[in-house]
Each structure stands twice: as C-alpha cells, then as structure tokens.
Amino acid sequence: MISIAECLGSEVLSSRFSSKYNSRFTAGTYEYFFKNEVWKADVKTQFLSPGITYTVNLVFTFRHPVIDGRCSYIGLNYRLKEETENSISHLAYVRDDGWWMCELYQLTTDHTTVDLQILFHSSSFFSPLMEIEGIEFRPLEKVEHKDENQPISDVDSDTNWEEKMPTDYEGLIKRSENSLQWTTKEEAYSIIRKGLFFSDDKKKRRIWFSLDKNGKKCHMLSAVLWWSYQATSGKKMFCPESRFFHIYPSVFLFEEVIHWDSDSFLITTKLQSRLVSTGTTYAIYLVYKLPNDQSGFEAPMEVKGVKRKSGDIIWYSHLTCPQTPVIRPMAGQNTHNPLNKPKFKGLPQQRNDGWMEVQIWEWGTATTTYKDLMLRLWLRLCDRTKFGGVIIEGIEFRPI
C-alpha cells in the first residue's frame, strides 16, 4: 500500500489531512468531499512481483457511519490520465481490518515497478465524506463458484434419508396440485426431494417446494404472488420458459411472470412457517432474466428491508456481473475482468434452468414453532434508472 500523501501533489492543503483515523501512515488520511472536485493521484511503486495479476484498490474510511456494515454505494468516477472515458466503482466493501476498499483496476505486469496517474472526478448524487488512507496493490484472489442448482438424480444416493425426512411429509405431499402416489416412506422422500407444486390457498397461484441435500425445506414463490397491483409500472406476461408456466383449462388462466419497466418495486409476501425449517438461516434469491441490451444495469441494486427494532437494513446486489477495467491489456486479453469479491454474496449466477439468480436478503427462522411473518423488501437501482425490461420469475428461499 502507498500512502495517499505520496500520491498527491504539493498543492494539496495540509488541512485536508487528519491523524485521528488510526492510519498506518504518519501523514494520516486525506479528506475527499466528492462534490465539484477533480484530483490526481500519482501512484508509483517498486514492490510488485512480475507475472502476478494485481487489483489496484482505493483504501479509505467513512467520516460518518453507513447504514450497512458490509458494503456501501459510492459511485466513484475515475480514469487514467491517458484515457478519455471514466470508469465507475459503484460499491465499497469493508475489510477485515476495518478499513473500506473499492477496486479500481486489475493489472498484470512483467516488471516490479508501476507508475500510474489516476484522475478522480466528482461523483453522482450520492456524496459520502471519505478519509482516504492510500492505494493498495493486492494479488488477485481466485473465486470458486458453487453450483447450488445441481439436478437431482432419480436414485437419491443419500443413505441417511430417514433422518432428513420432514415430520409433516404426508401433509406436504397432499398439498400437491397433482395426485402423487407413493407406497413407501423412501418413495415419499424422493418425491419431496425432487420438488412438487403447491397452489396458494387464496390466490390460486403456484409455489414450488423441495428439500435440499441436508433435508432442509426450500421453496420458490411465483412473482405474481407478491407483485403489487398498485405499482406505477410493470405488467404480467406469459413465459413458457418459466417453471410456473401452466394452463388452467377450466378457467382459461395462464400462469405468468412479471415484465418490469419501473425504477423500483416492492416485494410483499407472507413467509409461511410450514414451508421452511426451524432454526435455519435462509438466503432469498431473485430469479430473473435480463433483456438483450444489458448496458443499463451496471449499477447495483439496493434492497431495503424494515426491522422494527433495528430500523432499515440495506442489502446490495448486482443484476449483471460488475466488470473492472484492465490496465494496458496484452494481446488477446480482455479489457475488463469480473470484479474480484469472493466474500460478497450479491453477485449474479447462471442457473441450470436458464434463469439468473442473485441473493437479495438473508432471513433466520426461530428454533421453535412460530407464526407466519410478513416480508417487505423495496428494490431500486442505485443510479435511479429504470429496470427496463427485466423479467422476474419469482423469489426462492434456500438454506445457507
């Protein structure tokens, strides 16, 4: 890491530096207001290993506490001096040492020395007060993604299935909209493990229910179950690719998905206690498809929930995988690489069923029987643009 004081020119006012944020450097931190300001960091280092890919990161802290303690939207605009177009670092992430960090570039060098001139420009509407400590070169970590949607084989290889069978399995199978037949308890377990459809008692819409490999209850709610008819935009549409697509001949009703074209939307649904396992933390995923033109979805999505005791809780997720610019890419190398955040949970994944998913929330169940609870999540893009044609299939609850 290089102290920010070593990167700035002599014209910078000494009053902009502070020693009260426990910086590792004698000069302390540099106060950055974001608004109506352009400043240049001349970054020089002689301590890199040749042939290693590094991330170039801005390390800082906030002058005021942020709502979410894991990550925060900053919308930082910057570019190299020789470039003509700005890049944007949308989110900052807290590190294990308590400092915050945002990834600016990725760089692979054949030399031990690097000399960069980075211009930082005024941000968008969001203007946090930052105390910048320095610029860090960190070797790129390898990210391994686990596929949580592996298909279930016809013969379940789990020899401990009896321990994982839910006690209310008979009632669950009876709720199925199809007449399912089973002669042994093991066959019943196989049926639930693969998944089955329920019909919602009141709205006559569908719920997909299954068990994970540990016997924990999972379920997915069709978007039409929680879509708000009071929304200013968004409409229902037929989608044969959806698992919820179904024709009800007696009433000429098709199961639908939601085609969204608004700057925000609200998810309001009841968490049914019989569809989840007690004493379990669940990840909640938005299942969706993007239009062919995905250029308007670079900004992350802010998900806001309300808890009575602790107030608003903020979660950030990406609908598209964020990209980091590559400094001086070699022949055949991409000009942008995926953002390297192994511990960040809000990155999208491709599902085996052709849809995309991204985690938008976490929710823990009680260790004993409890009543149904209401879930209210407000979603919007951080740059205040519209969702512009996102197709939403539903939300899925899976144990962590």
Give the residue ranges of the chain where pLDDT is below 70. Answer: 34-36, 67-69, 122-128, 143-158, 200-205, 228-233, 246-255, 306-312, 368-370
Q: What is d(CA 36, CA 184) in angstroms, rounded to the nearest whole number? A: 71
- Claim to verify: residue 41 and residue 167 sit in the same structural domain: no
C-beta of residue 166 within 8 angstroms of C-beta of residue 193: no
Q: What pTM does this model have?
A: 0.88
pLDDT at 158: 64
Q: How many domains does the chain have?
A: 2
DSSP annotation of 49: -
Q: What is d(CA 221, CA 232) in angstroms, rounded to the nearest whole number? A: 22
Beta carbons within 8 Å of 295's beta carbon, 6+ residues apart:
none
What's the length of the chain? 400
Point out the domain boundary residue: 84, 106, 139.
139
pLDDT at 379: 92
Residues linked to residue 395 through DSSP beta bridges, in sequence order = 221, 286
Q: Is residue 145 part of a domain?
A: no
Residue 70 corresponds to which amino acid? R
C-beta of residue 320 within 8 angstroms of C-beta of residue 339: no
Alpha helices in the chain (DSSP H): 4-7, 161-164, 169-174, 185-194, 223-226
DSSP annotation of 85: S
Residue position matching structure tokens 């974001």? 34
Residue 371 corresponds to which amino acid? K
Predicted confidence (pLDDT) per residue in 275-303, tens digit: 999 899 999 999 999 999 888 899 999 99
- Claim to verify: residue 55 and residue 171 sit in the same structural domain: no
pLDDT at 127: 57
- Claim to verify: residue 187 and residue 292 sit in the same structural domain: yes
- Claim to verify: residue 109 and residue 218 sit in the same structural domain: no
DSSP string, 128-194: --EEEEEEEEEEPPP-----TTPPPPSS---TTHHHHS-TTHHHHHHTBSS----SSHHHHHHHHHH
Tokens for 285, please give them. Answer: 């995923």
- Claim to verify: residue 249 and residue 341 sit in the same structural domain: yes
DSSP strand pairing (130-139 vs 390-399): unpaired
pLDDT at 41: 93
Q: Is residue 113 part of a domain?
A: yes
Backbone angles phi, psi at 199, to 5 degrees: -105, 130
Residue position matching structure tokens 């968490």? 271
Q: Is residue 232 part of a domain?
A: yes
Q: Is residue 144 part of a domain?
A: no
pLDDT at 154: 44
- Claim to verify: residue 322 and residue 193 sit in the same structural domain: yes
pLDDT at 156: 46
Predicted confidence (pLDDT) per residue in 4-51, tens digit: 999 997 777 788 899 999 999 999 999 887 666 778 999 999 899 988
- Claim to verify: residue 242 and residue 368 sit in the same structural domain: yes
Residue 121 is part of which domain span? Answer: 2-139
Residue position matching structure tokens 């379920």? 219
Q: Is residue 149 part of a domain?
A: no
- Claim to verify: residue 135 and residue 256 sit in the same structural domain: no
Tokens for 255, please give them. Answer: 């199961």
Q: What is d(CA 295, CA 319) in angstroms, rounded to the nearest whole number? A: 11
pLDDT at 26: 93
Domain of 227, CATH number, reads 2.60.120
Backbone angles phi, psi at 233, to 5 degrees: -150, 170
Q: Is residue 349 part of a domain?
A: yes
Q: In 3-state terms, what secondary structure has residue 249?
A: coil
Domain of 99, CATH number, reads 2.60.120.260
- Claim to verify: residue 119 and residue 203 sit in the same structural domain: no
pLDDT at 99: 94
- Claim to verify: residue 114 and residue 187 sit in the same structural domain: no
